[in-house]
Amino acid sequence: MGKVVVNIKGVKCCAFCKYWWDPSCRYIQPYQRDQWSYDNAAKCRCIKRSVDTLAYASCGNYKCKIEL
């Protein structure tokens, strides 16, 4: 699909979760103020649930890795 811009204060996408294994943050980029872009086609491992998840997925374990 491609890049999507979101307000990280209002979404709980796996791409921004500290449990989504993307240590270099290669799938997310700051856009402006509280808005970030991410590649919603990306897939990484959730280290909390031990499953591969897409960047746009979400779950009850979400913890934002971006300091707000």
Q: Pick from 26, 59, 30: which is nearest to 41 by CA?
A: 26
Report the alpha-carbon distance of residue 55 to residue 52 in Å, rounded. 10
pLDDT digits (tens, 9 = 90+) for 7-47: 999 999 999 999 999 999 999 999 998 899 999 999 999 99
| Nearest of 18, 27, 36 to residue 55 by alpha carbon | 27
How many CA atoms lie less than 13 Å away from 41 in the CB half-sphere?
Answer: 3
Binned at pLDDT 50, 70 and 90, residue 2 comes out as: confident
Residue 1 reports pLDDT greater than 80: no
